[in-house]
Structures are given as C-alpha cells and as structure tokens.
C-alpha cells in the first residue's frame, strides 16, 4: 500500500469507526480531570485485558485514587480488589504503586512528558509511553498494539515481525499528520470489523484497497 492509498483508506476509516465505541483508554481520557495520569493508569490496566474490563476497572480505581499521591498510599491488596479481573492484576497493582511513587519522588507528582522518562516507570513499555504522549498530552507518537501491527502488515504498508519493529517502520513511513490518530482508527477497526480471526472483508469499506497479505481466512 502506497502513501496516497493509505491516505484514502484512513480518510474512509476515520468516518467509518465513528459508529463503534472508542477504545477504553480513549473513553477514560475523554472524561479525565488529569488526562496524562488517568491515561497512564488505564493504559497499564489495559495490557492483556479486554476493553470492557479495562474501562470498568479504571473507573473503580480512579474514583478511589484520582491522584498519584492517593494511589501511592493504597495497599497492593486494595488495588487488586479494585482492578480485578484485569489480566496480571497482582503485578499491575505493584507497578501502579511503584510508578506513582516514582512520579512523587522524581517528577513532583506529574506524569513526565518524554518517552525516555516514561520508559523508566515500572510497567511502562513503548506502547504505554506512546499512548500517554498521544492521548494524554496530544503530542506526536505512534502507539503500536497487536491490531496496529497486524493490520499495517495486512495492508502491506510495513513488513515486520514485532510491534516494536512496526513502530519504528511507521515512524519512517507514516505521514506525521496520521501519527496520533493511527492507533485509535486501527484499534477500533481491528476490534469491530478487521478482527484477528476471520475478518469481515465482505463488509469492509476499504476492502478494495487491501492486498490482504498473509490472510488465510475471511468472511
């Protein structure tokens, strides 16, 4: 897929995805009082967890602990009760406390606005850091999860083996104006129509542009 075709595809999908619910992290951020912090919390919770579970757990936790100061003061057991049944809830509870303590000790209780600083926080990888920068701060970044990685390769826009490889390839090839929106569009598209197992190609508004590279089965 070349750049003009990609531009056309993203323009079509930007309108199409409006009928579906936005990813959980975007829902939390849209209602946030402290957008960077709440984006950080919900993104940590979202890893290996379904959106509905992430959204509910984020609301419970942030209602109890809306600031790093309060969250850092909670016990691991209380956080576990609030966020269950998110995936790896025991590890995430510890990472949340450790990250909030780091914010208090090193950043005056504020989420840092740099990739390098974010990656030093416990439980934060490149996906989380990019989401905090793009959704939390509105800065340029490219967040790559399994949907973004899979669909970018399905389109033949990149040819990569891992989400991290995909991020760096997209940083080279993807027009900068698409960086912030790319994740939201592809994640929503990937959760609702271009699903991982047997995507709905017969209903897809961009099917005529898609080379379906590596796709074995569709509906």
Given the residues 145, 161, 172, 203, select the one marked as catalytic: 145
**Active site includes 145?**
yes
**Active site includes 127?**
yes
Tokens, residue 219 = 């509906």
Alpha helix positions (H), the chain:
3-16, 24-30, 35-46, 51-64, 68-73, 76-83, 89-106, 115-118, 126-131, 146-154, 163-173, 179-192
Q: Dihedral of CA 101/104/105/107: which sign?
A: positive
Helix/strand/coil for 196: coil
Given the residues 127, 161, 172, 173, select the one marked as catalytic: 127
d(CA 190, CA 146): 9
| DSSP character at residue 149 | H
CB 66 within 8 A of CB 34: yes
Q: Which helix (H) or strand (E) holds 175?
A: none
Active site residues: 127, 145
């Amino acid at each position: 897929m070349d750049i003009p075709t990609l531009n056309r595809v993203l323009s079509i999908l930007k309108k199409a995805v409006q009928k579906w619910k936005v990813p959980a992290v975007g829902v939390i951020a849209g209602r946030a009082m402290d957008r960077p912090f709440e984006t950080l919390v919900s993104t940590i919770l979202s890893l290996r967890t379904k959106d509905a579970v992430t959204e509910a757990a984020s609301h419970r936790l942030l209602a109890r602990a809306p600031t790093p100061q309060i969250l850092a003061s909670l016990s691991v057991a209380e956080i576990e009760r609030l966020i269950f049944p998110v995936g790896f809830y025991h590890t995430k509870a510890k990472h949340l406390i450790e990250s909030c303590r780091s914010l208090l000790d090193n950043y005056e209780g504020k989420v840092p606005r740099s990739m390098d600083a974010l990656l030093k926080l416990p439980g934060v990888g490149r996906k989380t850091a990019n989401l905090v920068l793009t959704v939390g701060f509105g800065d340029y970044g490219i967040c790559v999860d399994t949907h973004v990685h899979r669909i970018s390769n399905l389109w033949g826009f990149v040819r990569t083996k891992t989400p991290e490889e995909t991020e760096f390839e997209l940083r080279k090839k993807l027009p900068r104006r698409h960086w912030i929106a790319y994740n939201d569009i592809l994640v929503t598209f990937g959760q609702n129509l271009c699903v991982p197992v047997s995507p709905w190609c017969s209903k897809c508004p961009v099917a005529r542009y898609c080379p379906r590279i590596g796709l074995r089965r569709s509906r």
